[in-house]
Amino acid sequence: MNKPHRDHGVLVVVDPQNDFCSGGALAVPGGDEVVPRVNRLAREFAHVLVTQDWHPPGHASFASAHPGRQPYETVALDYGPQILWPDHCVQDTPGAAFHPELDLPGAELVIRKGFHPAIDSYSAFRENDRKTPTGLAGYLRERGFDTVTLCGLATDFCVLYSALDGREAGFGVRVALDACRGIDIDGSVEKALAAMRAAGVELI
């Protein structure tokens, strides 16, 4: 932890996509504000990775796939409780594209998640069944990276689960809160910060 970021750290930018920004299908309050912050932060890192929520039409996390259900209700899927969302980040649509002002020309990897029709994926490491890996842990290990810094959207879902899973996979994890924004359902941001602190995530 005493070494500068450039030595070991990798910046993972979580889901900086149009649907999570102003005017998007699942807009995170202040979501756009992260874009210039992410662009600035990325200049401090030698390695930048990006995640991209990437759902097929009719994905199991969409309320529209569950007759009679509304967004933000919770349903039981095969792997457990799942919050239902408005249709968002559908593969190859403008909503799934990265924010146009995102400026990460040196990004080395885009890791897509949530493409299995029946499984949602908040975490950059592991899908919501808590079993299906995205491959990120193997990628980081093979490249010799032992610490990641996370930023992006949303603090209380994809950033949170990425941070917890990163710790569980044995990585040092920092979260750059200034370059994150949360959805905040029933105090979920405060709960997320507490859970991350408890798991040994460094909030910076």
- Binding residues for Zn ion, per CB under 5 A? 53, 114
DSSP code for 28: P
Catalytic option among 19, 21, 89, 113: 113
By beta-carbon proximity to Zn ion, the closer residue of 41 and 102 is 102
Catalytic option among 15, 19, 87, 156: 15
From residue 13, alpha-carbon distances to 115, 119, 153, 161, 176 in Å are 18, 22, 8, 13, 10
Instruction: List the beta strands (DSSP E) in 165-204.
Output: 172-181, 202-203
Smallest gap from residue 34 Cβ to Zn ion (A): 17
Smallest gap from residue 55 Cβ to Zn ion (A): 6
Smallest gap from residue 157 Cβ to Zn ion (A): 9
Contact 48, 107 (CB under 8 A): yes
By beta-carbon proximity to Zn ion, the closer residue of 22 and 200 is 22
Catalytic option among 21, 89, 151, 158: 158
Query: Which residue number is nearest to Zn ion in terms of Cβ?
Result: 53
Q: Is 180 a catalytic residue?
A: no
By beta-carbon proximity to Zn ion, the closer residue of 36 and 132 is 132
Taken as a whole, the chain contains a residue count of: 204
Q: Is 113 a catalytic residue?
A: yes
- List, in order, residues 6 or more apart from 110 with CB less than 8 Å away: 49, 50, 51, 52
- Amino acid at the residue 34: V
Smallest gap from residue 71 Cβ to Zn ion (A): 12
Smallest gap from residue 113 Cβ to Zn ion (A): 8
By beta-carbon proximity to Zn ion, the closer residue of 41 and 136 is 136
Distance CA 34, CA 158 (A): 14
Contact 140, 148 (CB under 8 A): yes
By beta-carbon proximity to Zn ion, the closer residue of 53 and 156 is 53
CA-wise closest residue to 201 among 133, 130, 152, 149: 149
Distance CA 116, CA 39 (A): 30
Catalytic residues: 15, 113, 158
